[in-house]
Amino acid sequence: MKKLVIGDVVSRAWDLAVKHWPIFVVLAVINSLFGDMGVSVDKDAIAEIQSISDPTLQLKFLTEAIQTNSLLILIGVLLSTYISFIAYRMYVNCIKEGKPYNTLLDALKVDFNQLAIFFCVTICYAIIVGLGTCFCILPGIFFGIRLWFAPLIAATENVGFGEAFSRSWNATRGNFWSLFLLGITMFGIAILGLCACCVGIFFATVIIDFMEILAYYVLRTDETPEVATDYVEVQ
């Protein structure tokens, strides 16, 4: 069984983030903007809510103050999925090739079949974790960790829907607690990023994403010579 050393993952992720942060921070900001598409808040209603002392009425008025546009939300989700897809591939390219892309045009090109698989895997992963969390939280944590790498695999490896989940399941076998601690470490880094005037969360996101991908390459079960060699070079 492969051993995941959290300190090593954090150290390597930090080095990679320091080297490549500008392009990934830009992608993180763009992704955040797409995620907010279609959602707006009535500022006058918020001011009115602040004058209400009853928490139940506050929640009611807050719900009414949040306005949504379904079409814009759908467009935002699709664009966010596309950005996440190319970002995953660029992160992997940094680890394997030492740079995010050969040319920007190459980075933006996608296999739409693979993009569709990535979208389905990401949605399915969110549903599984969400439903699991509804049942005493623990099942959500368990499946969230065991299937953690499925979206990454769907984005960066030419596999089908089921194969993405099975590879993640195999890679995480026997490493649940190490990955659980890694997740807690990521949460701590995110909190530190928020404390850095909030904008630090974008740099923290870059570190966290590199941590996820490095952890997968440590644990993956198919040790192809190309990947193993590239990974050693990063060290």
pLDDT at 140: 92
Q: Nearest-5° angle of CA 158, CA 163, CA 166?
A: 140
What's the CA gap between 39 and 99, in Å, rounded? 35
From the number of C-beta atoms within 10 Å of its C-beta (0-12, 13-18, 19+), residue 20 rates as buried
Residue 21 token pair: 């942060």
Q: Where are the domains of the chain?
A: 6-234
pLDDT at 211: 96
Per residue in 67-97, pLDDT (tens digit) is: 666 777 788 888 999 999 999 999 999 999 8
Amino acid in position 196? A
Q: In the predicted model, what is the mean pLDDT of residues 44-54?
A: 63
Q: Nearest-5° angle of CA 209, CA 132, CA 220?
A: 40
Q: Where are the alpha helices (DSSP H) in the chain?
A: 6-35, 43-49, 55-65, 70-97, 104-108, 112-134, 138-146, 150-156, 161-172, 176-195, 200-219, 225-234
Entry field: residues in the chain: 235
What's the CA gap between 96 and 136, in Å, rounded? 40
Per residue in 96-117, pLDDT (tens digit) is: 989 998 877 877 888 899 999 9
pLDDT at 233: 40
Dihedral class, residue 167 (left if φ above 0, else alpha if ψ from -120 to 50, else beta):
alpha
Q: How confident is the model at residue 43 (pLDDT cuts 50, 70, 90)?
A: low
Q: Are 150 and 168 in contact (CB under 8 A)?
A: yes
Q: Are 118 and 81 in contact (CB under 8 A)?
A: yes
Per residue in 175-214, pLDDT (tens digit) is: 999 999 999 999 999 999 888 777 788 999 999 999 999 9
What's the CA gap between 10 and 211, in Å, rounded? 6
Q: What are phi and psi of 29, to 5 degrees?
A: -65, -45
pTM across the whole model: 0.81
Residue with tokens 């193993």: 228
pLDDT at 3: 80
Residue with tokens 């630090």: 200
pLDDT at 229: 36
What's the CA gap between 216 and 51, in Å, rounded? 49
Per residue in 134-163, pLDDT (tens digit) is: 887 889 999 999 999 999 999 999 899 999
